[in-house]
Structure 1
Amino acid sequence: MGPVSTEITVQGHFTAWIPAERATVSIVVGFDGPERSSVLSSVTAAVQTVTSSIAPLHDPQDGPVTWWSSDRIRVWAQRPWNTEGKQLAPVHHASIAVSVKFKDFDALAEWLTEAATVPGVQVSGIEWALTQARRTSVTTEVRSRAVKGAADKARVFAQAIGASDVRAVAISDPGMLGVRSTADTTSPATMRAAASTGSGGGDRVLDFTPEDIEVSVSVDARFEAS
């Protein structure tokens, strides 16, 4: 009779934190008022000011702006009610969303500081990300380390029961070996931008301090130890 083997099923996990390489800022230009034509005119003028400031910065390869877009104008009206329950005259609304992707974060801060002073502009948020090439290479490395982590864990388990020979028989994404586990995740880029102003009477400049981007992978693995 040959040596008795023991089945070991483990999960490997690895996380890397990578500095962001791109930042996409989203803004909305919007106005409201009693006259539809006036509202439309105000939005059109403000968007023209914003897009005119983007154009000189746009270069798909060198940046600082690598891409930008604007949505179609949205126009709607509503009739509000006063505190006495009376419906008032219509209020007209118009807005346009604009997204701008930067590779230079200093340029982003400078541009957004100026854009925020344009009447009607509101900052919706900033999404931080890696380039696709960088994300692919990092994910490959993280997956490899997750597998190595699973193998190291299996060897520790085997040593604890006196087994010295450990052989991998299956490696998969989480949940595919018939065991319940957390899902394989390569997390979307999530960053926090902190806006602050300098002291004194100088020009206001927004200071964005991005956190690193988390890239995380889990794998399930099955081994035989004897």
Structure 2
Amino acid sequence: MATEFTVRGSYSAFQRPERGTVHVKLSFEGPQPKPVYDRVVADLETVQTSVKALHDPSQGPVTWWSTTHVRTWAQRPWNQDGKQLPLVHHASVGVEVKFRDFVALGRWVSQHVSSTRGFSVDGVVWALTESNRQDLERSVRTRAVQDAARRAQEYAEALGLGPVRPVAIADAGMLGEGLHPAGGGGGAPFARMAAAKDSGGAELELSPEDIEVSSQVDARFVVG
């Protein structure tokens, strides 16, 4: 009679990020709509000019960038005494810039933080290149399968049985009917600019964490 083992294998790998996409917001507010809008548009032009000077899809330091449409709105705030204040007009636009050179990223952010009023950084998303991520994912999945096989064999040896033979393998959580994958993909982490070092007007120094890529698999083995 065959003895069956169902196990879960896992593996994680870490690699230094190769790209950093900085998420920027340009915003302004004031009592009149046109000056507010014009100020954001002028700031956007300044930022776009600086990005274009760095943009080179193959060599960098900027490999890709994009902007959203300028958004405008107005609201009438209240003061602490419950009195409604005059109308305040707002305008904002988002900019995303992908860097392959992190020194250049820090220099670019420092430049605009000190010189572009309304410039703020929402954060930086660190990532690998698509090609290297796929290679790493392939390696991690292989190691996860090997981990599952090792676990099953250890169970078999603990029972005094022989070599195990695989009969099924699936993403974690998929070996039962109606089940769904349990996850395990290592997404690019979101690192706030608090991970940077800034000392009295010096250029921003970024300290991104390693990218984690992980995989989990469920497998069924038999002996006999």
TM bucket, shorter chain: over 0.9
Q: Is the 8 A contact 1:191 1:210 kept in 2?
A: no
Q: What amino acid is aligned across from residue 75 of structure 2 in structure 1?
A: Q
Q: Is the 8 A contact 2:72 2:89 kept in 1?
A: yes
Q: Which runs of no fewer than 5 residues in structure 2 stay unpaired?
A: none
Q: What amino acid is aligned across from residue 188 of structure 2 in structure 1?
A: A
Q: What amino acid is aligned across from residue 15 of structure 1 in structure 2?
A: S
Q: What amino acid is aligned across from residue 23 of structure 1 in structure 2?
A: G
Q: Following the alignment from structure 2 to structure 1, what is the Cα–Cα distance between the partners of residues 196 and 187? A: 22
Q: What amino acid is aligned across from residue 134 of structure 1 in structure 2?
A: N
Q: Is the 8 A contact 1:29 1:121 kept in 2?
A: yes
Residue 74 of structure 1 is matched in structure 2 by 71
Residue 207 of structure 1 is matched in structure 2 by 205
Q: Is the 8 A contact 1:9 1:222 kept in 2?
A: yes
Q: How many positions carry a matched residue from both structures?
A: 220
- 1:135-146 equivalence runs, <5 A: 135-146=133-144
Q: Is the 8 A contact 1:191 1:213 kept in 2?
A: no
TM-score computed with the length of structure 2 as normaliser: 0.93
Q: Following the alignment from structure 2 to structure 1, what is the Cα–Cα distance between the partners of residues 34 and 180? A: 58
The match for 1:106 among 81, 85, 103 is 103
Q: 1:169-196: per-residue Cα shift (whole Å, max 9, x none)?
A: 1111112212889713212111535222
TM-score computed with the length of structure 1 as normaliser: 0.92
1:187 aligns with 2:206: no
RMSD, matched Cα: 1.7
Q: Which runs of no fewer than 5 residues in structure 1 stay unpaired?
A: none
Q: Following the alignment from structure 2 to structure 1, what is the Cα–Cα distance between the partners of residues 209 and 197? A: 16
Q: Following the alignment from structure 1 to structure 2, what is the Cα–Cα distance between the partners of residues 68 and 112? A: 14
DSSP-derived class of the 1:37 partner = helix
Residue 90 of structure 1 is matched in structure 2 by 87
In the TM superposition, structure 1's runs of 4+ consecutive aligned residues that sit over 3 Å from their partners are 179-182
The match for 2:54 among 31, 48, 57 is 57
